[in-house]
């Protein structure tokens, strides 16, 4: 057995080189292959009936689970949207693709990699996407090479704000921004502010983006049925990502006062401060401005109930859309020859550890829902406790569709588990998170075994270990007590650290470039930008955590004077998404910037 094959079979998968895709399948063989319906749900944690939650209402996803296999211990590779999705869709770990944050498109580092839908496209499938598959919905992180045709959009001409909030709330945000600007806030500070974290309107499902895109996906399914080639249809739902704004009828499904709140509403004991997120995502909403970070305090009970009510309502809204998709498959006679994969890109804290949102290495953020319904699977309606990872989905779908697997894949196909969920499987699942804490950038790598979670945090400047964490799931399934520094655990810490580094080697110092602002970052500068792309381009300002705000749109040849400060970072994206450019304002920036 070759070393790489051994490593894969043991759950220890190393980084590989990107090699050309396999030879394309002939159309005759492709026509006999199963279709794929690939359903992504943003910020969905395993908070579903089929995962044991008896309070939440998810009948459609629960029905899908009865026709497939529910993976109880599936893990993402990095608990935030862009790197999680990039890893799943390329089949590469974040350290291999060098995608750790919300800023970097995977093709900036691995330009020739063949993505999962692209591989199906190159083997005779018609690959179509709608909604949030990669990070973002319309342009910022899209990948035109992935699809057979340009990515679909709902057939409704409506502003994004209108999808999100009622007109009066949009106006309130506008007024607040004007007030803060008058008080001396910077443009960048004001641009971060979003409207309210929740909204409840008595509207139809398709007056929200996810309802409208379900309409479009169902229409597309009817057309795909008549094609001679099999299809790979990816549908990416935006909720339950903030803001929580489903139609009123989904709010009405729950009594807010009876929704159970998190039992472990406290910071993990003896955990390093670097391990916890700051909840900036929630704190950018105007009704949560000034909310304390987890290390500073907690939300009021009223705020907690509002947010959890909104999250549950969103999950039930998405469940209804999934049900519509499944009904369409049945009515079109496609169910018997369609593989359905439903996944959430990472977990999400709902008050656990006195925090909200994602962006940690904890179980609550890295554990994800994963349901696979394959016509040929033998163990439908079962649950699987084996450890699986998002990077395993790519090779699994290749095997289910009888496609050769590209050589760059770092995951292990779990197709055998669809026939026998009790098989002995991986010894570890691996996640990581890049965190800037007190001016220093750290990378935390994590291994989850059947019993333990071990996390090792290293200083990205020096490569030295900053902190370690160990949680014993036999005694502490909520990961409330870090026991890494107890004398009796030295041996297991040493063993898990070695196992972690076999798959996730410590990166050399400086590999992850710290995102520092210049010492002169308050110095204003004016930079002239010229668009030399052969198509329109959009300039975005990027915040530290990758939040994106539109600065301007430029036609080919058009010029724009950018008023900014030294140290700020911008990204330029062409209209098609095929061309991108990063621009950091430097101390010596004097010449015009040519976008080409």
> Which residues are catalytically annotated?
81, 135
Crossing angle between the packed helical segments 301-331 and 59-66, to the nearest 10 degrees: 50
Query: 483 vs 263, 276, 433, 527, CA distance in Å?
Result: 20, 16, 20, 52
Cβ-based burial of 459 (10 A; exposed 0-12, middle 13-18, buried ≥19)? middle
DSSP 507: P
Longest dimension (CA), the chain: 69
Q: Among candidates 402, 391, 328, 392, which has minimal Cα distance to 124?
A: 402
342 beta partners: 39, 371
Which DSSP string do the residues of 280-341 spell out, in sequence order?
Answer: HHHHTBGGGTTPPPTTT----HHHHHHHHHHHHHHHHHHHHHHHHHHHHHHHTT-GGGEEEE
DSSP 139: S
Specify the length of the chain in residues.
596
CB 57 within 8 A of CB 316: yes
Q: Among candidates 516, 513, 512, 544, which has minimal Cα distance to 95?
A: 512
Q: How far apart are CA 309 and CA 553, in angstroms?
A: 38
Q: Among candidates 187, 178, 194, 163, which has minimal Cα distance to 286?
A: 194
Q: How far apart are CA 88 and CA 92, in angstroms?
A: 7
Neighbours of 49 (CB within 10 A): 18
Q: How far apart are CA 310 and CA 306, in angstroms?
A: 6
- Strand 382-389 vs strand 69-75: parallel, antiparallel, or unpaired? parallel
Q: Among candidates 536, 577, 583, 533, which has minimal Cα distance to 562?
A: 583
């Amino acid at each position: 057995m070759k070393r790489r094959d051994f490593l894969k079979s043991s759950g220890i998968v190393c980084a590989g080189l990107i090699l050309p895709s396999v030879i394309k399948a002939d159309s005759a063989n492709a026509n006999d292959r199963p279709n794929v319906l690939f359903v992504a749900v943003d910020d969905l944690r395993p908070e579903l009936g089929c995962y044991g939650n008896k309070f939440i209402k998810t009948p459609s996803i629960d029905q899908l689970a009865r026709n497939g296999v529910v993976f109880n211990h599936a893990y993402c590779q990095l608990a935030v949207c862009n790197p999680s999705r990039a890893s799943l869709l390329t089949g590469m770990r974040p350290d291999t693709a060098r995608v750790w944050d919300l800023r970097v498109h995977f093709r900036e580092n691995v330009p020739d990699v063949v993505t999962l839908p692209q591989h199906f496209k190159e083997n005779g499938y018609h690959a179509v996407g709608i909604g949030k598959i990669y990070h973002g919905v319309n342009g910022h992180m899209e990948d035109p090479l992935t699809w057979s045709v340009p990515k679909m959009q709902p057939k409704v001409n409506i502003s994004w704000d209108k999808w999100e909030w009622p007109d009066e709330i949009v106006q309130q945000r506008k007024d607040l921004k004007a007030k803060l600007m008058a008080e001396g806030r910077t443009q960048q500070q004001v641009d971060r502010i979003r409207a309210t974290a929740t909204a409840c309107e008595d509207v139809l499902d398709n007056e929200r983006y996810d309802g409208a895109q379900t309409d479009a996906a169902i229409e597309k399914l009817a057309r795909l049925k008549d094609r001679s080639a099999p299809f790979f249809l990816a549908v990416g739902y935006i909720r339950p990502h903030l803001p929580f704004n489903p139609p009123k009828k989904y709010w009405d499904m729950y009594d807010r006062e009876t929704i159970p709140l998190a039992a472990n509403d406290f910071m993990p004991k003896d955990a390093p401060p670097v391990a916890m997120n700051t909840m900036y995502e929630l704190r950018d909403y105007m009704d949560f401005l000034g909310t304390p970070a987890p290390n500073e305090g907690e939300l009021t009970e009223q705020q907690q109930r509002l947010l959890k009510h909104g999250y549950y309502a969103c999950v039930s809204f998405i469940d209804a859309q999934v049900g519509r998709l499944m009904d369409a498959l049945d009515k079109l006679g496609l169910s018997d020859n369609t593989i359905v994969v439903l996944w959430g890109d990472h977990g999400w804290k709902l008050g656990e550890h006195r925090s909200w949102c994602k962006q940690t290495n904890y179980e609550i953020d890295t554990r994800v829902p994963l349901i696979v319904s394959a016509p040929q699977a033998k163990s439908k309606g079962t649950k699987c406790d084996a450890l699986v990872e998002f990077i395993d989905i790519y090779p699994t779908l290749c095997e289910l569709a009888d496609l050769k697997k590209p050589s760059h894949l770092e995951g292990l196909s779990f197709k055998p588990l669809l026939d026998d969920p009790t098989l002995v499987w991986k010894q570890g699942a691996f996640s990581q998170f890049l965190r800037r804490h007190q001016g220093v950038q750290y990378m935390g790598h994590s291994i989850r075994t059947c019993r333990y979670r071990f996390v090792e945090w290293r200083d990205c400047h020096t490569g030295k270990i900053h902190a370690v964490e160990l949680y014993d799931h036999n005694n502490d399934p909520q990961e409330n007590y870090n026991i890494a520094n107890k004398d009796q655990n030295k041996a297991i810490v040493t063993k898990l650290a070695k196992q972690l580094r076999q798959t996730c080697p410590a990166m050399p110092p400086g590999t992850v470039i710290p995102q520092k602002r210049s010492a002169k970052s308050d110095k204003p500068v004016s930079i002239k930008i010229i668009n030399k792309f052969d198509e329109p381009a959009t300039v975005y300002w990027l915040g530290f955590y990758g939040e994106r705000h539109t600065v301007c749109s430029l036609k080919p040849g058009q010029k724009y004077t950018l008023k900014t400060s030294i140290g700020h970072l911008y990204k330029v994206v062409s209209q098609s998404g095929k061309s991108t450019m990063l621009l950091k304002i430097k101390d010596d920036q004097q010449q015009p910037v040519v976008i080409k």
